[in-house]
């Protein structure tokens, strides 16, 4: 297991559409292990493979992280359907847009079909924060970030903030 670098905006790789996984094998599980480590190291609750530069339809998540528990979830080739009409406004953040948070509205309930860590097909109904998080991560697989749901002005502000942060970090590293 290893912590990998998480790409941040405006890295163009984040705009790529991820490809379906052919087989859930040891190599893919190793990627999922690394993704989980990287997510925990960055204090996140969800991560898509493209955020570590791998364009595969893979998501890891742990909604209990931060509550002192570990309850990792793995989603391979996830497909969402049956979104509720009811929308939930939620203050979202993203490890690829560090330190920027803003409200996005999404359906508060959605069905997910996916393969788990062992490659077994699963179906779940996600509600509340789980529904928000899986839709946010699914967007990553299509090259969409949560800031793409905001106004152009807000999006530009978010990217500028992250660029500034990256510059400061580079200066620190050089010092």
Min dist CB 66 to Ni ion, Å, is 16
Is 137 tagged catalytic?
A: yes
Question: For the chain, what is the HEC assignment?
Answer: CCCCCCCCCCCHHHHCCCECCCCCCHHHHHHHHHHHHHHHHCCCCEEEHHHHCCCECEEEECCCCCCCCCCCEEEEEEEEECCCCCEEEEEECCCCCCCCCEEEEEECEEEEEEECCCCCEEEEEEEHHHHHHHHHHHHHHCCCCHHHHCCHHHHHHHHHHHHHHHHHHHHHHHC
Min dist CB 175 to Ni ion, Å, is 30
Q: Which is nearer to Ni ion, 14 or 28 (CB)?
A: 14
The footprint of Ni ion (CB under 5 A) covers 94
Q: Which is nearer to Ni ion, 25 or 103 (CB)?
A: 103
Q: Which is nearer to Ni ion, 5 or 25 (CB)?
A: 5
Min dist CB 24 to Ni ion, Å, is 23
Which residue numbers are catalytic?
A: 137
């Amino acid at each position: 297991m290893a912590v990998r670098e998480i790409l941040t905006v405006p890295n163009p790789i984040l705009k790529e559409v991820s490809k379906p996984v052919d087989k859930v094998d040891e190599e893919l599980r190793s990627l999922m292990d690394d993704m989980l480590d990287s997510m925990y190291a960055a204090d996140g609750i969800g991560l898509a493979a493209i955020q570590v530069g791998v364009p595969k339809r893979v998501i890891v998540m742990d909604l209990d992280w931060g509550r002192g528990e570990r309850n990792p979830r793995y989603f391979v080739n996830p497909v969402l359907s049956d979104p509720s009409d009811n929308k939930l406004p939620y203050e979202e953040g993203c490890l690829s847009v560090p330190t920027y948070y803003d409200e996005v509205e999404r359906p508060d309930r959605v069905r997910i079909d996916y393969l788990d860590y062992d490659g077994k097909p699963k179906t779940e109904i996600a509600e509340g924060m789980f529904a928000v998080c899986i839709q946010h991560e699914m967007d990553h697989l299509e090259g969409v970030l949560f800031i793409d749901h905001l106004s152009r002005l807000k999006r530009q502000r978010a990217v500028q903030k992250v660029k500034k942060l990256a510059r400061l970090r580079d200066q620190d590293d050089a010092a």
